[in-house]
Amino acid sequence: MKLRLIVLLALLGLAMSEVFQHQITKIKSARRRMREQGTWKDHLARKELKRLYKQQHPKTFATVSQNVNDWEDMEYVGNITIGTPGQPFAIILDTGSSNLWVPDVTCGSGGGDCNTDSGCNQQGIVCELLCDDPNCCSGAKSAFSRVFRKRSGKVACTGKHLFNSSLSSTYQQNGQSWEIEYGSGSASGFLGVDTVSFGAAGTQQLVVPKTTFGQATDIADVFAQDPAIDGILGLAFTSLAVDNVIPPFINAVNQQLVDQPIFTVYLEERGDIDNTPGGVFTYGGLDTKNCGPVIAYQPLSSATYFQFSIQSIGVGSFSSNAGWDVISDTGTSFIGGPQDVISAIGQAVGATYDDQEGAYFIDCNANPGPVTITIGGKQYQLPKKNTVTDAGQGQCFWDFFPFDFGGFGPSWILGDPFIRSYCNVYDVGQQRIGFTTVTASGK
């Protein structure tokens, strides 16, 4: 009897102790790609105009959800499959949002996009400024349009993997519409339900049946700048999700498909290299190969983003212990913080802000001390190799940017420079976040 119980438990344990490792790839971000092509400043100018217009005309944009991420900075991609048999997609694994979407096979063919993008209802130059597809705007195109428009929104799906629901035996219709606005462009479409599997086909996948996801029928032209990326997979909480859709990992937790309701992120520092192994997402457990033991857990102050409080930040002669709410965000390649603090830090390390580039630059040979962030009484250090990155043409970025959430929510975005310095353990079940050193075998 006793023996049988033990065997039973062992079997049960075996069936439930599922930990899945997901290799990811580092790619060149759209920002870096556009800088090399010389189109970045135009893109930034248009984006800034659009942002200002929206601030002054909030009523025109009723359905815009707030999202911290700009598509153009995302650098780490992973493979997933959707449907049965699995159709492959390369997606951004983003702890700063909560929806999964990929381009649908009908992407760009509907013609309904002019109606769903509220910017396209505007007249004249305002339409050209705000609408993601200038072909939706009536009348002659201005010089403005020619300067800022490189391509139509309708071709943004070209070259991407497209989801064809007719080819999947497990697909279920939903049909509800969705729209997500990122800083740099929007995506919209309808919802469907199918099996979503984390990891590439042919590897050990985390298979999550009955997952609701977005089938994009329209994606803004900025998405086309990243040929390596099909869509985004949000890993934050349901409360942040557009249309309250349950995010894939939360769905996996709800269906008890993983050992523990946590995932661990290890990001590799690869410099400005395109298409190289970039780290590992471990679902259901810790990453014992690349990450050390957990130094400490910090309770989340809000389980929307992975939001928590930090006590202080300092570098060189600068230090402030004002205390802030921050988020840990794999989808942002820099660290964002309040303007006054960022500019004081920039000054302390000798970095200068370039308005036209929308970025800080620093002498590549400069040797700023580590940036120290205090969380729960423990100090975490971000070394130069994770905060100064190659910007090409002999220039280096200082990986910080001024960020204003508008009075609500977090004050800082701890993006990839932080996560490259410490593995982050996203504990969904206990609503806390843990940090570990990156071990030698992971470096």
- Which amino acids are annotated catalytic? 94, 329
Does residue 211 touch ligand NAG according to CB under 6 A?
no
Where do the DSSP E strands lie in 169-254? 172-182, 185-198, 206-219, 231-234
State in angstroms the smallest separation of the CB of 25 from ligand NAG: 5
d(CA 165, CA 174): 12
Among 64, 200, 344, 348, binds ligand NAG (CB under 6 A): 200
Tell which positions 327-346 bind ligand NAG, by CB under 6 A: none
Of 57-65, 162-170, 251-259, 298-306, the window that binds ligand NAG (rule: CB under 6 A) is 162-170
Closer to ligand NAG by CB, 195 or 387: give it.
Answer: 195
Closer to ligand NAG by CB, 157 or 428: give it.
Answer: 157
Does residue 209 touch ligand NAG according to CB under 6 A?
no
**Paired residues of 183 in beta bridges:** none
State in angstroms the smallest separation of the CB of 38 from ligand NAG: 29
Q: Going edge to edge, which strands form the sheet with 378-382? A: 318-320, 312-315, 371-375, 378-382
Structure tokens at 225: 């700048």
DSSP 91: E
Does residue 227 touch ligand NAG according to CB under 6 A?
no
Residue carrying structure tokens 């994009």:
216
State in angstroms the smallest separation of the CB of 224 from ligand NAG: 18
Please, what's the b/e burial string for 57-81 (b: 16 or more CB within 10 A of its CB; e: otherwise)? eeeeeeeebebbbbbbbbbbbbbbb
Of 161-169, 255-263, 307-315, 422-430, the window that binds ligand NAG (rule: CB under 6 A) is 161-169
State in angstroms the smallest separation of the CB of 200 from ligand NAG: 4
Q: What is the dihedral of CA 243, 244, 245, 247, to 10 degrees?
A: 130
Closer to ligand NAG by CB, 107 or 242: give it.
Answer: 107
Of 163-171, 176-184, 265-273, 430-438, the window that binds ligand NAG (rule: CB under 6 A) is 163-171
Does residue 55 touch ligand NAG according to CB under 6 A?
no
Among 18, 19, 21, 25, binds ligand NAG (CB under 6 A): 25
Tell which positions 82-121 bind ligand NAG, by CB under 6 A: 88, 105
Structure tokens at 369: 């001390």
State in angstroms the smallest separation of the CB of 433 from ligand NAG: 25
Strand pairing of 324-328 and 412-414? Answer: parallel
Cα dist. 150→42, 71, 103, 298 in Å? 10, 17, 21, 45
Among 23, 135, 177, 304, binds ligand NAG (CB under 6 A): 23
Of 129-137, 164-172, 240-248, 406-414, the window that binds ligand NAG (rule: CB under 6 A) is 164-172
Does residue 167 touch ligand NAG according to CB under 6 A?
yes
State in angstroms the smallest separation of the CB of 23 from ligand NAG: 4
Task: List, in order, residues 6 or more apart from 47 with CB less than 8 Å away.
Answer: 183, 184
198 half-sphere exposure, CB direction, 13 A CA radius:
28
d(CA 288, CA 78): 20
Torsion sign across C-alpha atoms 196, 199, 200, 202: negative
Among 1, 5, 62, 166, binds ligand NAG (CB under 6 A): 166
Does residue 169 touch ligand NAG according to CB under 6 A?
no
Does residue 228 touch ligand NAG according to CB under 6 A?
no
Closer to ligand NAG by CB, 279 or 417: give it.
Answer: 279
Among 84, 164, 238, 288, binds ligand NAG (CB under 6 A): 164
Closer to ligand NAG by CB, 107 or 253: give it.
Answer: 107
Residue carrying structure tokens 């009908």:
106
**What is the three-class DSSP state of 386?**
helix
Nearest CA-CA partner of 280 in 263, 298, 265 = 265
Binding site for ligand NAG (CB under 6 A): 23, 25, 79, 88, 105, 164, 166-167, 200
